[in-house]
Amino acid sequence: MIHVTIYQNDKNECVGFLTDGHAGYSEEGTDVVCAAASVLIINTMNAIELYAHDTCSLVTNEETGMIAYHIVSGHPSEDANLLLRTMILGLEEMADDENYAEYIDLTFEEV
């Protein structure tokens, strides 16, 4: 299962996230849940770098599926906030879908 923890500040803004695990929906290379989550997450990080220019920290471990991503300032720009909210929307849709709910878990934590 993919576990995603969304970190939020006191203004309910997403200031980062942590992913861990692999979906296990199907074999590596054919796992649509893993592919969908990866596209949402990686595209969001790339878009923030390209369009929002927020300073971020990133630590990854491909073997365990870990991605630790944080907005360094603790307050995302308006563009980064929108991009992160869009990513969260996609992940929530996956976590709420009866076909995929057992393969992805989404939690929120105030930091």
**81/28: higher pLDDT:** 81
Residue 55: exposure state from Cβ atoms within 10 A (0-12, 13-18, ≥19):
exposed
The model's pTM is 0.94
**What's the total number of domains in the chain?**
1
User: What is the domain extent for residue 67?
Assistant: 2-110
Model confidence at 12: pLDDT above 90: yes
Quote the pLDDT of residue 28: 84
Query: Average of pLDDT values for 9-28?
Result: 94
46-104 pLDDT per residue, tens: 999 999 989 999 999 999 999 999 999 999 999 999 999 999 999 999 999 999 999 99
User: CATH number for the domain including 89?
Assistant: 3.30.70.1490
Model confidence band, residue 1 (pLDDT cutoffs 50, 70, 90): very high
How far is the C-alpha of 6 from the C-alpha of 104, rounded, in Å?
A: 13
